[in-house]
Structure 1
Amino acid sequence: MERRQQVKKSRLSADDWADAALAAIGAGGGLAAVAVEPLAARLGATKGSFYWHFGNREALIEAALARWVETDTEQIIAAMQTEPDPEKRLRRLFTEVTRPAKHDPLELSLLASVGHPQVAAALKQVTERRIGYLTGLFTELGFTDAEARRRGLMAYNFYLGHTQLGHAVPSALPSAAEFPGYVEAVVGALLQRA
């Protein structure tokens, strides 16, 4: 994602370091890529800059994961709330998160690192928040609590499966021209009442 592209600045912030850590994780290095010296080189900074903001590597990982939760979940949900109609919100959400998912390997890299306690906690937080948000949309659309939860879980599974497929076999996904119809079919299936 564009926000993860690093630009040399005269004074780096903790967010710059967190973004660099996320970019390194997503670039295929996983958590092992979160190392002070390579990140400092990438940022054109010194290790002193790192230690100005963080006491150790684990503190950077924690900050990076918090930034990921904020930018890839909370900010997206906040942006969706500008649409008053829950059905339009659901369609917009699917369109906005599924299209770029195949180009951003960060989430899959984090899922592959679920054995790390900090990553596991962040993934749990994000998963619960996202499914909760989707469940709320289906509740607003008139589904019972149990049915809304079931559909929220199915919607989130679709997103994760789409993301995985986009990285494993991108040719299996619809073309850009087919994408709107693809999203419409998925949302239509999720909204269908028995």
Structure 2
Amino acid sequence: MSRAASAKPILDREAWIDAATETFAEEGLAGIRVETLAKALGVTKGSFYWHFDNRDELLLGVLERWKDGRMRDIVKQTECEPGKEFEQVEHVLSVYSTTRSRKGMRIELAVRDWAGRDPRAAAAVREVDAMRFDCARKLFLDAGLSKQEASSRSILVYAYVFGQSLMDCERFDTDIQQARADIFRLIQGKPQAS
């Protein structure tokens, strides 16, 4: 066997965070173990300790990736041209209600569970939720709604986004497309068509 063929892969810090994030999505915080990750990655624990002082530092890397990714995503999803705010709200609702990323939702729930036990995770969740709320509220404010109504509708947007992702909505309504259209219309405050 050649020396190149038997060489262990060289991993950077991001590869470890990738692997830990995958494990986090499947097994939660308890599943992230250095030895198990090293084995799955085909490297020694020494590779881990080259990049991290300890497991906690890796966990903070996972948390930062989640936080930064969520914040980037919501800013991207809520940017729009003036006068197109309601269309952008509908876009946000559509993106988050139809893609239904199971992995993304598992990570979201695992982070929120973690936040119940760790003040650093709780702070990250508060930051992400504040960004989500502020970006959605800005759409409604820019559309001309009062601050109170914009705030209420922003809460409703995220109550819907998270609630429907945890439910099997098709069980309750056979015409899910019509149900979504009705929900979008209600959130936007549009009158029902006669």
- Residue number in structure 1 paired with 2:92: 93
**What CA deviation, in whole Å up to 9, does each residue of 1:153-184 have, x standing for no partner?**
1111111212222xxx5753768xx5543432
On the 8 A contact 1:40/1:46 being kept in 2, the answer is: yes
Give 3-state SS (helix, strand or coil) of 1:45's partner: coil
The 5 Å alignment of 1:154-193 reads: 154-165=156-167, 169=168, 172=171, 178-192=175-189
- For 2:25 and 2:67, the matched residues in 1 are separated by 15
CA distance in 2: counterparts of 1:124 and 1:14, whole angstroms? 26
Shift of 1:11: 3.0
User: Which has the larger Rg?
Assistant: 2
**What amino acid does structure 2 have at the position aligned with 1:136?**
K
Alignment correspondent of 1:145: 147
Q: Is the 8 A contact 1:139 1:148 kept in 2?
A: yes
Work out the CA distance in 2 between the residues paired with 1:61 and 1:174: 40
* Identity over aligned pairs, percent: 26
Cα distance in 2, alignment partners of residues 71 and 132 from structure 1: 16
Superposition pairs of residues 64-75 of structure 1, within 5 angstroms: 64-75=62-73
Question: Cα distance, 1:119 vs. partner?
Answer: 1.8
TM-score norm. by structure 2 comes to 0.80
Counterpart position of 1:6: none
User: Mind listing any 5+ residue stretches in structure 2 that lack a counterpart?
Assistant: 1-7
5 Å-filtered alignment, 1:110-149, equals: 110-114=111-115, 115-149=117-151
Gaps of 5+ in 1: 1-8
Paired with 1:122 and 1:192, the residues of 2 have a C-alpha distance of 31
Question: How many Å separate the matches in 2 of 1:49 and 1:174?
Answer: 51
Matched residue SS, 1:101: coil
Over 3 Å counting, the alpha-carbon distance change for 1:102 and 1:49 in structure 2 is same
